[in-house]
Amino acid sequence: MGAAELSILAKQKQTEQPLLAVRGLTKRYGRRIGCAEVSFDLFAGEVLGIVGESGSGKSTLLSCLAGHLAPDAGTVVFDTADGPRDTVRMAEAERRRLARTDWAFVHQNPRDGLRMGVSAGGNVGERLMAVGARHYGQIRAQAVDWLGRVEIAADRMDDRPSAFSGGMQQRLQIARNLVTGPRLVFMDEPTGGLDVSVQARLLDLMRGLVREMGLSAIIVTHDLAVVRLLADRLMVMQGGQVVEQGLTDQVLDDPQHAYTQLLVSSVLQV
């Protein structure tokens, strides 16, 4: 095992350029603060969890990062194929192109992220067609492959998502997002609204995909168990501010900030 493993270790001394570098990101709603002065780096292959209760600004932050909302100040520099670019200031056409190629967004409610009137195969194929795929057979083959990877049987590919269970819809949404091989996935409460056993399956699936595809992910959730299992690093938000960030198990096992201590102690065992 030695030699093969050593060469792999050597490869992991990777580039030091962060995939996403966020500085001073601020969004206000009139006088109210959405999120204030948020800064962090995310490197390739890392999973960052953002936790906080409703109204803490975590969803606002995610929207600003993903380009769904224009921040009032700050920069979000993404390491594009042409080098680092501030996505806040790039032209909308370019940002939308990123959104269908290098980025993906998994919504809490699959209905927001799927086309409910289009078959499962069509949902997965859309991103391929959006980037120029024009061979029906190949699109279909890739859709079958991806449905398989998220454990949806090939014979369901022509069914509409409305005929699927909540967990299947969520897995379909993930397949639809990952089919074009993005490098960064934004997830908004991806396991919210699912049964615990279905959540487990989804978590395992996401872990495997993150590992196999070398994905980076930013996951917003209020579920500390989810971040414990998925996230390498954790950011805790309260009132629009990041009150604590660090290694996930460090933040959960040895929280430093009063709010984090309260958050952790309020949860049954995580």
Kindly state whether residue 163 participates in binding another protein, applying the rule CB under 8 A: no
Give the one residue of 25, 139, 178, 236 binding another protein; rule: CB under 8 A. 139
Is the Cβ of residue 72 or residue 158 nearer to another protein in the bound state? 158
Distance from C-alpha of 147 to C-alpha of 59, rounded to nearest angstrom: 28
CB of 176 to another protein, least distance (A): 11
Tell me which stretch binds another protein (CB under 8 A): 62-70, 78-86, 88-96, 183-191: 88-96
Q: Which stretch binds another protein (CB under 8 A): 21-29, 30-38, 73-81, 247-255?
A: 247-255
Say whether residue 268 binds another protein (CB under 8 A): no
CA distance 88 to 71: 8
**For the chain, what is the total number of helices (H) and then of strands (E)?**
11, 10
Q: Record the tokens describing residue 240, joined without a space.
A: 């629009």
8 A C-beta contact, residue 54 and residue 222: yes
Instruction: Locate 256 and state its tokens.
Output: 């430093």
Which is nearest to 21 in space by CA: 72, 69, 83, 96?
A: 83
Q: Name the residue among 99, 113, 127, 103 with its Cα closest to residue 182.
A: 103
Measured N-to-C along each axis, helices 120-130 and 136-149 cross at an angle, to the nearest 10 degrees, of 120
By CB under 8 A, name the one of 3, 4, 81, 268 that touches another protein: 4
Contact status: 204 vs another protein (CB under 8 A) = yes
- Between 207 and 246, how does the x/- string for binding to another protein read (CB under 8 A)? x---x----------------xx--xx------------x
What are the φ and ψ backbone dihedral angles of 176, each rounded to 5 degrees?
-60, -35
Cβ neighbours around 110 below 10 Å, total: 25
For position 190 contacting another protein by CB under 8 A, the verdict is no
Residue type, 78: F
CB 217 to another protein: min, Å: 14
Binding test (CB under 8 A) with another protein, winner from 34, 52, 113, 125: 125
- Tokens of residue 3, six digits: 């030699």
| Positions that interact with another protein (CB under 8 A) | 1-2, 4-5, 8-9, 11-12, 43, 46, 92-93, 96, 100, 115, 117-119, 121-122, 125-131, 134-137, 139-140, 157-158, 197, 200-201, 203-204, 207, 211, 228-229, 232-233, 246-247, 249-250, 252-254, 256-258, 261-262, 265
